[in-house]
Amino acid sequence: MNSPVAQASGTFTFGDLTVNRLGFGAMRLTGKGVWGPPTDRDECIRVLRRAVELGVNFIDTADSYGPYVSEELIREALHPYDGVVVATKAGLLRTGPDDWTPLGFPAYLRQECEMSLRRLGVETIDLFQLHRIDAKFPAEDQLGELVALQQEGKIRHIGLSEVTADDLAAAQKTATVVSVQNMYNVTVRTAEPVLEACEAQGIGFIPWFPLAAGPLAAPDGPLQRIAAEHHASPSQLALAWLLKRSPVMLPIPGTSKVNHLEENVAAAEIELSDEEFATLSKAGSA
């Protein structure tokens, strides 16, 4: 598999940046608990470079992945990027493995943006996402700081993560929001209202934890049955379902292994029928 198969997922445009909809999430390019360096750094570099070979041109990361490790690997593997859109995030403080604390103090967000610029080796971050809205500070102050950075040319576009439809509407009073990143998959769809708001406005929706399928992936489950008909894996079907669910959907499955990456990207070429999509949708909401 050497052709840029990710192109089969279709495209989405953030303002002036067009990407293939099936992207890559770089959280797993770190140690256990998303803390420290990965077990096999060379394999992680190969994963990033192979992703681009396969047509993936949207990479999602965050300063908190490692922390910093993921951004550093992305620079080592892909700089100067050559048409690859790199999105990053700030707003979560890391104090240990699997420990995530929201921190939206505006000066901290500015500091983390400046540091991400250096780590990624760019003058402007393509898409900078507020990783969480921190309840300890006015949301308009957090978004306002990102707008200031945008006006200074350090951020091209602004996104949000883990928000409600009401949060999105409130944020839009301060900033132009081009993307929302929430947990969403075939079995977890609590973000449906904000997805619908994104669809109505042409805002990109980036589902994290996209491969979760739970009981649907059981040997006698609908995901396994339909996957067998497509000569595919249940995880590939989970991605195909997301891509069919909405034209604003940009799944970002992540991995630290090249063979798993290739399997994920191949999902871009799977076309579910309307009946198959409906079957999985109904089973996933049961």
- The number of angstroms, rounded, from the C-alpha of 34 to the middle of its chain's C-alpha atoms is 15
**For this structure, is 65 an active site residue?**
yes
Q: Enumerate the H helices of the chain as residue ranges.
A: 41-53, 69-78, 106-120, 139-151, 165-171, 192-201, 222-229, 234-245, 258-266, 274-284
Q: With CA atoms as reference, report the closest residue to 267 among 77, 61, 54, 58.
A: 54
Residue with the two structure tokens 């049955």:
225
Instruction: Using DSSP bridges, classify how beta strands 99-102 and 92-96 pair: parallel, antiparallel or unpaired.
Output: antiparallel
The CA-based diameter of the chain, rounded to the nearest angstrom, is: 55
DSSP 109: H
DSSP 188: -
One of 65, 68, 81, 108 is an active-site residue; which one?
A: 65
Catalytic residues: 65
